[in-house]
Amino acid sequence: MDIRLLRASDIPLIQHANLENLPENYFLKYYLYHALSWPQLSFVAVDASRPLKTPYDYPKIVGYVLAKMEEEPTDGIQHGHITSLSVMRTHRRLGIAEKLMRQSQLAMVETFGARYVSLHVRVSNKAAIHLYRDTLGFKTEKTESKYYADGEDAFCMKLDLDFIREQLREQEDQPEEEVEEEEEQGNKDKKKKKNATGGEDVDEGEAVGDVGRDPAKAGTGKGEQKFKVKVGRALGVGELVEKVESKHS
């Protein structure tokens, strides 16, 4: 397993993983839109140990997080959003989903100054809810009824990212040498706390399925409307988003 930043060449197999695992699917262009707007936020877990069969083998994607920044936040606060997160059923219980999420959250704060991150999750998806709430600390904001195309409700969840901001500030305030030790200490503390709350052995259990799927929102007519993007107006990228969004309405 190798957890690293997404590259353009990964996208066909990210799309493949999404199609294989989740009911909410997107055109390749929608992935490109993420990768070219917020390339710092999306990460993949690849099976790096597979022996190569040809010189053209692409690393197999066993998990990914596709994330974005809200372009025009209705609350006026910079925040990130998880569009889609998935780990192959065959690669669960290694904490991949959690690790992907943490990488993305950190980058949201560092690169884009995000204050919080939001996501949607099916109310029936216990494993995913467990990951978000118990392992990562998300809080349920509200329930959106019939969010999903098949009529299922979604929990709208949020995680305040100020704790990451705080950590970064602490690191910055300290001279380099000390940081290393402090951090080590900090990690241990964190681990201890985790053990105490039983967070250490969290496993993803079943499907950590789809959490994103903004798309359905476009149809509900309330909340964030995603496609007015100044960015894409003249060109059809706006149109692209619009298309994908309405697809699920």
Q: Restricting to residues 165-194, which ones interact with another protein according to CB under 8 A?
A: 180, 183-184, 187, 191
Q: Which stretch binds another protein (CB under 8 A): 138-146, 155-163, 240-248?
A: 240-248
Give the full edge-to-edge strand order of the sheet including 43-47.
2-5, 43-47, 60-69, 79-87, 116-122, 154-160, 139-144
CA distance 78 to 159: 13
CA distance 118 to 96: 19
Using rule CB under 8 A, residue 21 touches another protein: yes
Element (H, E) at 87: strand 79-87
Using rule CB under 8 A, residue 127 touches another protein: no
Using rule CB under 8 A, residue 117 touches another protein: no
Least distance in angstroms from the C-beta of 17 to another protein: 9
Using rule CB under 8 A, residue 119 touches another protein: no
Largest interatomic CA distance in the chain: 54
Closer Cβ to another protein, 89 or 139, answer by number: 89
Q: Which of 153, 160, 203, 224 binds another protein (CB under 8 A)?
A: 203
Q: Restricting to residues 82-111, which ones interact with another protein according to CB under 8 A?
A: 88-95, 99, 103, 106-107, 110-111
